[in-house]
Every structure is written in C-alpha cells, then in structure tokens.
Structure 1
Amino acid sequence: MFRLENAQSLVGIVLAMGICWLLSEDRRRFPWKLAIGAVLVQAALVLALFGLPALRAALQGVGHAVDGLSASTQAGVAFVFGFLAGTPNQPYALTDPGSLFVFAFRVLPVILVVCALAALLWHWRILKWITQGFGVVFEKTMGLRGPPALATAATVFMGQVEGPIFIRSYLPSLSRSELFMLIAVGMSCVSGSTMVAYATILKDVLPNAASHVLTASIISAPAGVLLARILVPRTPEAEVSEPLKPEEDKVYESSVDALIKGTSDGLAIVLNIAATLIVFVALVAMVNGVFGLFPPVAGAPVSVERILGVVFAPLAWALGVRWADAPTAGSLLGVKLVLTEFTAFIRMGAIPAGGIDERTRVIMTYALCGFANIASVGINVAGYSVLVPERRTEIMGMVWKAMMAGFLATCLTASVVGAMPSELFGHELKPPAPAPAPVLQPTLAPNPAAASTAAPSVTSQPASKP
C-alpha cells in the first residue's frame, strides 16, 4: 500500500537530481529520458527481486549462501587464531558475549575468502560471462558504448578501480563525460567482497541483509550513470564507436593459481581497509577530544557524530526516514562520507532491534552501500594515475565532483526503495515514536550485544571492540 511515507521519499529523488542539475556543466542538456528510464529501471528491479516469488527465493538463497560462507570462513579463522576468532569454547569465563565479535576476525577474513572465490570464478569464466551480460544490459538500456558499459558492469562486482582495468586500453580515448561516469559509478557501488562483509555485519539486525546489500549495489549503478550524465552531460561527437577487444589483465594459469593470486589480492584489500579504519577513527577521536573541551550543548557533549547528524538529518528525512530517526540516520550518512561506509555499517549494526524503525534501517542500508567517501578520492586518484597517467590532471579536477555524484546516487537509490510499499520487504510501518531517538554515538561494536556495553565515545571505547 502506498502511504504518505512513500511519497516523502519522492522528495529525495527530486533533491538528488536537483542538486546535480544545479552543479551541472551544462544545465540546458538535462537527460530527461535517461532520468525517467533509470528511476523506472531501479523501481522495476526492486519490485521484481522482492515481489516475484521465484526471484525472492533466489535472493533468500543468496542470504543462506552468505551465512554458509561466513561460517566456513570462521572455521579457517579459528584454525589460525583459536579462541580469538570468537569460538564458543573460550578459556575464560564470559561476562560480555558480545565482545566475541571482533571485526578483524569476523569480517575482514570474509573478504579474503570472497576475493579468492572471485578469482576462481573468473578463471572458470563464470564471473566473466556475468559481467559481460550486465555490460550488454547497460549498453542497451542506458545508451552507453561497449567499453564503458563493460567497465560499469565490472565495477559492480570487482570494485571502483578494478572495474576500469577491463578496458584499460580504451581509457585514454574516453570522452570527459565517460571518464567522469566511470569514476562516479565506482563510488556509487561496492565490490563483491565488501557486499558479503556488509551482510555479515548487518545479519543480526536486518532480515535478508545479503539480499538488500546485493540489490543496493546493482541498482545504484544506473543511479550513478544518471547523476554523472546530469553533472557532466555526454558529448556524442567525442564518443567514437569502436569494437570492444577483450583485455587480458586477469589471467590465471590454473584454479590453484587463481586461488593463490585471489588471496593475495584480498590481503591487500584487507590491509587497506584495516589501515583506513584505524587512521580515520583515530582522527575523529582526536577531533572529539578537542570538542570535549567545550561545554555540553542541549545536555550532551559535542562530537563529530552529533554535528553530522544535525547537518544530514534533513537529507535523511528526504530519503523517507521518519523525523524521529533522522538525527541518527543523518549521522550515519555523515560517517559514511567522512569515515567510509564500513564504519557506517558497523555503527548501524550496533543499533539494536527497536533502536530505529525497520523501514529506516532498510532505507539506510541502500543509502550507505557505496564507496563515496573521502578515502575513495585518494584511492581513485592513485588507481587512475596508474591506469591512465596522461589524464591524471583531468581526473584530479573531477574526482571530488564524482564523489558527490556517488554519494547522491546511493541517496537516490534509497529514495526509490523508500517509495516502495513497506510490505514488499516483509515489515509493516510502525507509528512514530513519541520522542526523538538519541543521536548515534561513535561506538564501533557491530552487534546489539556489543553495543549495549559500548562506551559513548571512541576515545573511551574498550580496546577489544573494533
């Protein structure tokens, strides 16, 4: 049933497109057909994936596969790290079972396993066929040329820098609009390895978490294409059609070689994620320490999270979040932009069931599922400087705008989901709470049990929590 709350999400759709139009390099060339088509494609995909019994069952199967993958990964982690992996048999008496969930041992190893499996599936050509299939879909439905369409599809599964590798030889000849679109789409989506990690973080607080995360990354690609085309309109005269030649950057000698190289690639990703989280959380802790010198405001200490919650609360409301949850949801949006989406997912996973509305949690899952953050700016500059060094100056001039496009693309996706009937996702709307929910504090415990004992700030957080 379509309700007022669903109509509220339409504000977010208009707002995302409107901001991009105001900042467009040519406001007279707004892609009306692409705008209507992209939103309809997103809505149709959501309705089909969650409304059709066969596809809904397939998505639930994906969720079971993710649970099995996580359990299998824990067997390997327990073999190497023993009781530190959070096994039931602990050498000490437990006073806080939630502390067994340690991010380094429960989430990061999943990325290693998924990267190894992705390499194996690529060697078996299964993932390659899937990527090429999605590339044809993007080419036919979004009006993309063959090379950018393939790179867009690869980005959905492989990541923001790994995707363009598949058309490396074409990058120097891409138009400015096409190059900007690839960077923006890369920040609109997430990679296959991180999809599983996010689902692992949210599975205790969000039913069908894997289904939502997978859907979010796929349907955010059309949103990224649309907003990129609005900000930097295409120039057909600069897009010369040319046949697509397969790249040979990912070649494995055997299945074992694919597993070994995939594991090595995964290790680099894991170390990068861990290092980024350590540095960015530490920086926020330092800033919060400075804010702690100031007197409390409205009965609570000033923090980065509170400030972000206030700044982004109106945007969260425009996505379809009820106003009682808007400060918390706004804080999550800000944390995603400043501290990476990994941190934002961890903090949302720390909100226990009932802490925010179920509909709010679903909408925010889609809003957070993208690589658009400050750290990704550096990742893209470094990656594209290697892939296409002759265009580094041009990339430096557009990467921040691409980050904004990626951020708003996930907001557009969340708005489309918010406009869908809540019954589609298996929950009913609840009446608004009588009082606003407290602004989310920067605890990093990724499950409800851990959240209940976490301290109210990063600086006072126990060392055992990620």
Structure 2
Amino acid sequence: MGILMGIVGILFTMFLAWIASSNKKLSFKKWKNILILLALQLFFAFLFLNTTWGQTFIGWLAEAFNHLLGFAAEGGQFVFGDLMSLSTESGAAGEQVLYNSEDGLAFNVFFFNVLIPIIFISAIIGILSYTRVLPLIIKGIGILMTRITGMPYIESYNGAASMFLGQSEVFISLKNVLPKMTTQRMYTLAAQAMSSISLSIVGAFFTMLEPQFVIIAIVLNFLGIYIIVHIINPYEEEINDTGVEISTNPEKGKSFFQVLGDYIIDGGKVVLVVAAMLIGFIALIGLLNQLFLLIPGSSLTFQDILGYIFMPIAFLIGIPWDEAQTAGSLMATKLITNEFVAIGEFMTIADDLSRKTQAMVSVFLISFANFGSIGIIAGSVKGLHGESGDKVARFGLKLVYGASLVSLLTATIVGFFF
C-alpha cells in the first residue's frame, strides 16, 4: 500500500506541475532526464534511510555539526553568560517547550541553541569561500549536473550554489549574467533558490529535526527542482553558455578578515530576521486562531481550517488519512509563514504522529518555499539587476507553487521507505 500511494503521490505532484506548465508537450529528452532524476532521488533516499553506510555518514555529519555547535556555544557563553548556561542545561529536548514555557526558558533554548549558532556557521562559510574551497565544490557539482539534467551550465551551477548559499546570496555570483537571462531561465534560477536552504542554517535545523531528514531533504530538493522545472517551465532551445562569466570568487580583492567580518555580520542579520519573523508570524497566527474561535458555534482554529484544505494533498502524497489533517495544517503553516514557524508547531506534536508522517512532514518543511520568500528573492535580484527583479516579482505566485511541489515530491519519495 505504501509503494502504491508513493506512485500516486509522484504522479499527482507531476500532474500539478503539468497543469501549470508553460508548454504541456514535453519532449522525450525531458522525460528521460526526469526519470533519471527520479531514480537518483529514490537511490539517495534508500541510501540514507535503509543502509548502514548512509546512516553512518549521517551520524558522522551530525556529530561534526554538534562539535561546531559546541564551539558556537562558547562564543555565546562569553557574551551572554548565565543566560547561555541556562539554555544549555535544559538539554536537547528543551526546544519541545517552545510555546509552553512559564519562565522564559523556552525562548533561551531557541534563541541560544538554534539562532546563535547561525553566526558561527556563517563564519565557517566565509572561510571556505575565501579559501576557494566552497566555490570549487559548487563548480564541480554544477558541471556534473549539466550532464545529468540536460540543462545549461548556469542553471546547473545555480542549483548547486543554492544548496550551499541560500536564496539571497546565490545571485551575487550571477550578477554578471542576470541581464542575459530570459524570463523562463530566471524562473528556474529563482525556483532553485526558493527550494533550497542556506548552509548557515543547517545547524539550526539539526537542533530541531532529526539530522537524517535534514540531509535527505537537502539532497532530494536539489534533485527535485530540476524535475519540477522540466515540467512546469520547459525550454527547448539550445543554449550556449560558453564564455559567460560567473563570479565564482566574489571575495576577490578582500582581505581574510574583511571576508570573515562580512560573513559574521551577515549571520547576525539572519538571526535578527528569523527572530523578527517568528515573533510576527506566531503572534498573527495566535490572533487569527482566537478570531476564528469567536465565531458562534465554531470550535475550529485558523490552522484547523488550513489543515482541512490541505488534507487531500497530504493524503495523496502518502500520509495516512487519520493524520492528513494535522500534516496539512503544518504544510499550510509553512506556506503562509515560514519553515521555522512550522517546525516549531511540528515539534510540539511530532511524538503523536506515526514514524512515516514524522519523516514526510520533516522533509517537507526543509526549504524556503513560502510567500515571504517572493519578496526576499525579488528584492535580492532587483538589487543586482532591476529588470530581472521585476521578472521574478511577476511570476511570484507560480514560483511558490513550483517550489512547494518540490517539497511535495521530496516528501513523497521519503514515504516510499516507511
């Protein structure tokens, strides 16, 4: 039954992409690339979920991030002193009381254990960028993906860069080529950015979700976006990117400490933005829930209603019917707010869900696919090239739609193995 619903989920997701496609007559070559990418998604999901080697690799990676988070805690301890100690003593389960604390401990745990490490991870990324290690990795993956996806090098490079840099920073390396991008190609670049997460916040996700699901989501989203854009945004013309300049060394001309300082400051900005978004969105959801409860005879909250709207979608991708409303509510919460708000809600109820639903919801929540990201991406691109930013703003809703389908596809693939 699980495999059957998995197949239904894949076909359903592809159908949703096809009905919004700019060209519904896909070539044989496109379908060939799609099947190869699907096979790779299934392979990596099986590798990380069902093999000793995959589990060992994820365990090693999680341990490495735990060490990095420990170093981040030392920096936080110096600045915040006893407040940092209080959050550390609460233990790994402290985040579970994010909305139930009576003494402020929950805020300490989330802020110090989840947000503060972003600053340190950003510093590590700055070092890797300055030493050219990270640009070399991104370029290598981009070259490989041109052969697998059948897409031009810029799109292949951007997919790899988005997986590491996130939805704002990734366009800096493409600032010289943005004026040459058609609307269709800009859609692909923006969808890749929205379907990814930034390496700087991976450590934060590791503290809230199981590391294996974070790693699986990153890999499957990276492959899945090519599948969705092949269907929703196909372009057949031969594109020659030879000689097009991509800035793979944006730190050129800066000293080591200039780069390090810039990345640390950028990490601090991310922390403030995430904290502000959480405060605003959680407060608004609380207000809406209360307003819906004021309706005479109503016992449904705003999130309950969202859950019922998304319930059929959750069921069709393989989530059990008796948990589909809860999963649908979490999916909708992520779409209209952001991934951190939805994960916070998920953490409070995860233990009440089946293992399959936990896995599928976890990977669905790992991306930037939400309405707020439209403004972030359009603004980032517009700051580099005004006309390209306007293009992104015009297809904003379709952008969220496509990126959300990537998350649906990732969740469906993971459901095969539970």
Structure 1, residues 303-326: CA drift from partner, whole Å, max 9, x if none?
Answer: 221011111112112222212221
**After the TM superposition, which of the residue ranges 405-414 and 130-139 deviates more from structure 2?**
130-139
Amino acid at match of 1:263: I
Please name the residue that 1:392 is paired with.
389
Distance 2:317 2:409 in 1: 8
Tell me the secondary structure at the aligned position of residue 279 of structure 2. helix
Q: Residue 404 of structure 1: CA displacement?
A: 0.6
Q: 1:183 touches 1:399 (CA, 8 Å); kept in 2?
A: no
Distance 2:87 2:272 in 1: 23
Distance 2:137 2:372 in 1: 29
Please name the residue that 1:5 is paired with.
2
Please name the residue that 2:331 is paired with.
333
Q: Residue 37 of structure 1: CA displacement?
A: 1.7
1:317 paired to 2:315: yes
Q: 1:112 touches 1:267 (CA, 8 Å); kept in 2?
A: yes
Structure 1, residues 55-99: CA drift from partner, whole Å, max 9, x if none?
Answer: 432221011112222232223223222232225679xxx998974
Please name the residue that 1:376 is paired with.
373
Distance 2:246 2:107 in 1: 46
Please name the residue that 1:241 is paired with.
241
TM-align CA RMSD: 2.3
Q: 1:296 touches 1:302 (CA, 8 Å); kept in 2?
A: no
Q: Residue 111 of structure 1: CA displacement?
A: 1.0
Please name the residue that 2:129 is paired with.
122
Q: 1:332 touches 1:344 (CA, 8 Å); kept in 2?
A: yes
Q: Residue 189 of structure 1: CA displacement?
A: 1.4
Amino acid at match of 2:286: A
Q: 1:78 touches 1:87 (CA, 8 Å); kept in 2?
A: no
Q: In the superposition, relative to structure 1, how do residues 381 and 253 fare at CA in structure 2: closer, same or farther (>3 Å)?
A: closer
The equivalences for 1:115-194 within 5 A come to 115-194=122-201
Distance 1:414 1:271 in 2: 30
Distance 2:189 2:288 in 1: 34
1:294 paired to 2:295: yes
Q: Residue 50 of structure 1: CA displacement?
A: 3.8
Amino acid at match of 1:171: L
Distance 1:383 1:164 in 2: 7
Distance 1:77 1:192 in 2: 20
Distance 2:187 2:88 in 1: 49
Amino acid at match of 1:62: L
- Gap regions ≥5 residues in structure 1: 203-208, 423-466
Q: Residue 410 of structure 1: CA displacement?
A: 0.8
Structure 1, residues 356-382: CA drift from partner, whole Å, max 9, x if none?
Answer: 111211111111111010110111111
Distance 1:225 1:167 in 2: 19
Distance 1:51 1:356 in 2: 21
Please name the residue that 1:267 is paired with.
268
Please name the residue that 2:407 is paired with.
410
Tell me the secondary structure at the aligned position of residue 295 of structure 2. coil
Which residue, out of 305, 308, 324, partners 1:307? 305
Distance 1:88 1:236 in 2: 55
Please name the residue that 1:60 is paired with.
59
Q: Residue 191 of structure 1: CA displacement?
A: 1.0
Q: 2:380 touches 2:389 (CA, 8 Å); kept in 1?
A: no
Q: 1:134 touches 1:150 (CA, 8 Å); kept in 2?
A: yes
Q: 1:190 touches 1:370 (CA, 8 Å); kept in 2?
A: yes
Distance 2:229 2:184 in 1: 8
Amino acid at match of 2:268: L
**Richer in helix (by share):** 2
Amino acid at match of 2:31: W
Q: 2:88 touches 2:113 (CA, 8 Å); kept in 1?
A: no
Distance 1:210 1:400 in 2: 31
Structure 1, residues 154-202: CA drift from partner, whole Å, max 9, x if none?
Answer: 0001001212222221122123322111111111111112222111112
Q: 1:138 touches 1:149 (CA, 8 Å); kept in 2?
A: yes
The equivalences for 1:269-288 within 5 A come to 269-288=270-289
Q: In the superposition, relative to structure 1, how do residues 224 and 349 fare at CA in structure 2: closer, same or farther (>3 Å)?
A: same
Please name the residue that 1:349 is paired with.
347
Q: In the superposition, relative to structure 1, how do residues 117 and 280 fare at CA in structure 2: closer, same or farther (>3 Å)?
A: same
Q: 1:189 touches 1:218 (CA, 8 Å); kept in 2?
A: no
Which residue, out of 24, 28, 34, partners 2:25? 28
Q: Residue 16 of structure 1: CA displacement?
A: 1.1
Distance 1:88 1:215 in 2: 27
Q: How many residues align?
A: 404
Distance 1:18 1:168 in 2: 34
Distance 2:202 2:251 in 1: 21
